Amino acid sequence: MDENAKSYEFQSEAKQVLELMIHSVYSNPDIFLRELISNASDALDKLRIESLSDETLDFDRDGARITVRISPDERTITVSDNGMGMTRDELVSFLGTIAKSGTKEFIAAMKEARSNSDLIGQFGVGFYSSFIVADRVTVDSRKAGTEESWLWESEGDGTFTLSPGSRASRGTDITLHVKERGSADEETPEFKNYLSRWTLREIIKKYSDFVSYPIYLDDKSEKKTDEAKEEPVNSMKAIWIRPESEVPPGDYNEFYHHLTHDWEEPMERIIYKAEGTNEFYALLYIPSRPPLDLFYRDGAHGISLYIRRVFIMNDCRDLIPEYLRFVRGVVDSEDLPLNVSREILQQDALTAMIKRGIVRKVLDTLRKMKSDRPDDYKKFWGMFGEALKEGIVADPKNRDAIMKLALFSSSKSGQTSLEGYVSNMKPGQKSVYYLAGGKADPLANSPKLEAFSDRGVDVLLLRDPIDEIWIPSVREYDSHPFVSVSSADIEIEGEAERKDEIETPKDDGFLSRLKDALKETDSLKQIEDVRYSSRLVGSPATFVQKGEPVSPQMRNFFKSMGQEVPPEHKVLEINAAHPIVKKFSSLEPDSSQARDWAVLLAGLASISDGEPIADAPAFMETLEKLLQRG
Ligand code: ADP
């Protein structure tokens, strides 16, 4: 090491990811090479694109290359490219920090699932995967258009150093000092094969065949006989334009890994060629795991744009709507101009047409998957349904198609589509009943469902915050209105099925005493009314709402966003048939007792609704008093 080398600490997240890389055992260490070749190919793309707007950078397509050089004697592998390179500052920030959203969550998940080290593939740690096979890594890089090169060096132990490098021209050499084996454990694989030309050739062909720049393989220990005969290892064929019948199926998955850095196999592949006035190819994938940043505002989008086989940009948001952000893949247009920019794409009519075509194709693929492979589809829905549902509001043109794709938890059938719900309606039932807000378990136990369960009427249990946004905007499915079971004014249709008639007694003065007590008790003042319920069977009380019900979950959401919370019109419903209510209503009228009953019933309603009690100390005090009184 250069004695003038300056030492730096990795950012703490980067340090933790590195530690995981070094100490976990990987089922497939080969992928380090794919990651380094991907980065080299990206660096060449970056140079080509920058050279379009910066005349001082000259990019020569024929000279662009990636070289993998092994030196068995020194136990090193070097991956070189003559792409964009990195400045000193870029080496520090690109290789010393992780800027991805969701890093903290990823590290926590990794730590929890110690054994499942393949989780790391989901995160796409790229360069750091070098440390799976190497105990020392050096990066010698010279940024295009600059005169100096810098050498980054680390043993993955929390620090790295920087000193002057020795690259004579732009680009990057990444050198891995290959370890003996994966860990001190004798059982783990030995890495000596990585120093064999034959092994590396196989790995490159398998993982990086479609990389669009030539990859040369070179063994320092061999004498070169004829330079001119040198052939790239990869075929460089764009997989998406080849006829499907000619592509070995495994290659599609390898391309997916190359593109996404996800080590898992995708759940679904979509191959599409649009012909006519706007020709384009699309090769799209649905991952078998949601990305960690699915619900981050700045999370990555999955589509890369190519124009006539030339890579243009990653993360092309204009080609796929937000609600399909989990779809990964490439779109290759025959008709867009090569010098297209993000700004032009935004207003371009061709782009909009491509986007429409892609949406149609993806939704249609999902429709088929739902009918042909329902189990796979359920998995898909569990992972991506919440995102897809955003489309019900965001994409009115495809609203009906998306609603048909939606699955919901329900009180009676476990999980159902809207179509399934409607076909299982009770005679006389017109509405689609739902209960919104919170997790499925507390929802399923809500007292508001009792009368529906009693009558055999199914109720959708809507867990996701987005549900309370699309329901009010859509209002009905197939002419069946959505009706909240939290709504005060509800008529339960399908009466014919009812097992036990729930009597709603005439008010004998008990309700008016409770009403007076509500008005006089500060913590209960926000309750607008109290009445006997026709929806309760086993629980003593519940809260319902007049007007459009807004769940407590949604109220908290509005609050956390600093938005105005819609006014709440709470009604306390009590169960006349419940022993507690019967007992109270039969006792002698006494206004101080009425206050106690009101506090108690309101508290019980909150508890059975799974909500905090408005004035817990008053509730406790009243409960104690009533218990002592016997
Ligand atoms: P990712 O590729 O997912 O961004 P990596 O950890 O693989 O993450 O790389 C981090 C960054 O380092 C890259 O985004 C890129 O800017 C830079 N980088 C890595 N390898 C190279 C290379 N060969 N040439 C130029 N820049 C590189």
Choose the most confident range, by mean pLDDT, from 7-21, 134-148, 330-344: 134-148
Pick from 13, 42, 77, 176 the residue to mutate for probing ligand 1's pocket: most ligand atoms within 8 Å of its CB: 42
The predicted model gives 307-315 an average pLDDT of: 85
**pLDDT more than 70, % of the chain:** 90
Task: Check pocket membership of 39 for ligand 1, CB cut-off 6 A.
Answer: yes
Mean pLDDT for all residues in the chain: 87
N-to-C CA span, the chain: 84
Asked if residue 379 has pLDDT above 70, the reply is: yes
- 264: which strand partners? none
Q: What is the pLDDT of residues 57-98, one digit of tens each?
A: 989 888 999 999 999 999 999 999 999 999 999 999 999 988
pLDDT at 378: 97
How far apart are the CA of 124 and the centre of ligand 1, in A? 11
Question: Is the pLDDT assigned to residue 411 strictly greater than 90?
Answer: yes
- The per-residue pLDDT for 496 is 46
Determine the distance separating the centroid of ligand 1 and the alpha carbon of 91, expressed in angstroms: 9
Asked whether the predicted pLDDT for residue 605 surpasses 50, the reply is yes
Give the model's confidence band at 21: pLDDT under 50 very low, under 70 low, under 90 confident, else very high: confident
On the question of pLDDT at 34 being above 50, the answer is yes
Could you report the per-residue pLDDT of 469-520, keeping only the tens digit for each? 899 889 999 999 999 998 888 878 765 444 455 556 666 688 888 888 888 8
Contacts of residue 594, Cβ cutoff 8 Å, sequence gap at least 6: 513, 514, 516, 517
Would you say how long the chain is, in residues?
A: 630
Write the pLDDT tens digit of every residue in 118-134.
565 566 668 998 998 99
Reported as a pLDDT band with limits 50, 70 and 90, residue 568 is: confident
Q: What is the pLDDT of residue 4?
A: 78
Residue nearest ligand 1's atom 9 by CA: 127
CATH number of the 6-219 domain = 3.30.565.10
pTM of the entire predicted model: 0.76
Q: Is the CB of 86 under 6 A from ligand 1?
A: yes
CA of 175 to the centre of ligand 1 (A): 14
Give the pLDDT confidence score for residue 134 in this predicted structure. 94
Report pLDDT for 387.
94
Is residue 13 scored above 70 in pLDDT?
Answer: yes
Across the range 239-245, mean pLDDT stands at 92
The CATH number assigned to the domain with range 496-629 reads 1.20.120.790
Query: What b-and-e string marks burial along 21-60, b requiring 16 or more CB atoms within 10 Å of the CB?
Result: bbebebeebbbbbbbbbbbbbbbbbbbbbebeeeeebebe
State which of 275-284, 432-441, 529-538 shows the largest mean pLDDT. 275-284
| 40 Cβ below 6 A of ligand 1 | yes
Identify the band that residue 137 occupies on the pLDDT scale cut at 50, 70 and 90: very high
Closest approach atom of ligand 1 to CA 98: 6
599 Cβ contact list (under 8 Å, min separation 6)? 521, 523, 524, 615, 618, 619, 622
CB of 94 within 6 A of ligand 1: the answer is yes
CA of 452 relative to ligand 1 center, distance in Å = 57
Distance 34 CA to ligand 1 centre (A): 13
pLDDT tens, position by position, 511-534 = 888 888 888 888 888 899 998 888
So what's the pLDDT on residue 377? 97
Q: What is the pLDDT of residue 119?
A: 60
pLDDT at position 551 is 78
Q: How far is the CA of 35 from the centre of ligand 1 (A)?
A: 9
> For the structural domain made of 246-380, what CATH number should be given?
3.30.230.80
What average pLDDT does the segment 581-591 reach? 77
Q: Spell out the long-range contacts of 57-64 with Cβ–Cβ below 8 A and sequence spacing 24 or more.
A: 57/144, 57/145, 64/213, 64/214
Q: How far is the CA of 220 from the centre of ligand 1 (A)?
A: 26
Mutate which of 39, 41, 122, 154 for ligand 1? The one with the most ligand atoms within 8 Å of its CB, which is: 39
* pLDDT at residue number 169: 96
Q: Strand runs (DSSP E) across 298-337, as ranges? A: 303-307, 310-313, 328-333
What average pLDDT does range 136-147 have in this prediction?
Answer: 97
Pocket of ligand 1 contains residue 139 by CB under 6 Å: no
Nearest CA to ligand 1 atom 13: 94
The pLDDT of residue 499: 43
- The confidence band for 191, taking pLDDT boundaries of 50, 70 and 90, is confident
Domain boundaries, the chain: 6-219, 246-380, 410-491, 496-629
In a 3-state reduction of DSSP, which class is residue 398? helix
> On the CB side of 223, how many CA atoms lie within 13 Å of its CA?
1
From the options 3.40.50.920, 3.40.50.740, 3.40.50.11260, 3.40.50.720, give the CATH code of 410-491.
3.40.50.11260
